[in-house]
Amino acid sequence: MNYTADRPMETKTEKEIAPSERKASKREVVLDVKDLSIFYGNKEAVKSANMGIEKNAVTALIGPSGCGKSTFIRSINRMNDLIPSSRAEGEIIYEGINILRDDINVVALRSEIGMVFQKPNPFPKSIYNNITHALKYNGQKNKKVLDQIVEESLRKAALWDEVKDRLHQSAMSLSGGQQQRLCIARTLAMEPQILLLDEPASALDPVSNSKIEELILQLKEDYSIVIVTHNMSQASRVSDKTAFFLNGDIVEYDDTKKIFTNPSEARTEEYISGRFG
């Protein structure tokens, strides 16, 4: 848990960019994406993507706006189901099951694969009730247990110290960065296996941003994380693997260090060096 505490974010050397690179090859694959295509009506937003997302690692999805990375991440917990015109082909294998199948219990799936969105979206309830909202739905009524989960989740999301004295105040009174960490805490309370973060820091100020990054590095000890980001340096700081999306294709998917130092594809290099996008 002290992973980042003695390592100031600003003074990283290149060697440290992908801190767990040595372990990279040993990690098991938690989500195996095979020939995944996603359509909105007739438009193919993701074109037969293949990607093995590794366990206890941070996988960053980068690429210009409209390249399909958000569509991709939203298909992993079936949030695209909310869009009537969308349809997915191919497979995403999680624990041996293709989660794109029609008979999948989407509700159960989403509690295993949690998601945090770009815009902090706490419920207009108290901080405490934001976290217990889903727990109560799942039948947990024991006050002591709830108290304990609330504290644990807030601690994991590095928010406990800031809010422990005002748990019953409205979540709307928190700052944007705090709200976003509350949303992460709320998701962690469900004890998911995988955490999907859709541009979690892009609506936040730089300080909140770096807090979220520290948090991500801590969380990957316990969770497998997929993060969509527009911020190149963020991707290079927090992720172990990076996938570069362009016009619905995965142009390159490799260790973050390799993508940022020695990409195989010219287009990746052009994008990373800021020549387009």
Interacting residues toward other proteins by CB under 8 A: 77, 79, 82, 84, 107-112, 114-115, 117, 119, 121-124, 133-134, 137, 169-170, 172-173, 183, 186-187, 190
How far apart are CB 82 and other proteins at their closest, in Å? 7
Tokens 């990373």 belong to which residue? 272
User: Closer to other proteins at the Cβ: 187 or 242?
Assistant: 187
Query: What is the rounded radius of gyration, in angstroms, for the C-alpha atoms of the chain?
Result: 19
Determine the 3-state secondary structure of 222 from DSSP: coil
C-beta of residue 68 within 8 angstroms of C-beta of residue 38: yes
- Write down the least CB distance from residue 134 to other proteins, Å: 4
Q: Which is nearer to other proteins, 179 or 242 (CB)?
A: 179
Minimum distance, C-beta of residue 143 to other proteins, in the bound complex (Å): 19
Q: How far is the CB of 121 from other proteins (least distance, A)?
A: 4
Nearer CB in complex with other proteins: 92/251:
92
Residues 217, 219, 223, 225: is their CA dihedral positive or negative? negative
Choice between 49 and 116, CB closer to other proteins: 116
b/e map 14-40, b = 16+ CB within 10 Å: eeebbbebeebeebeebbebeebbbbe
Nearer to other proteins, 3 or 117 (CB): 117
Q: Which residues contact 52 (CB under 8 A, 6 or more apart)?
A: 29, 31, 32, 33
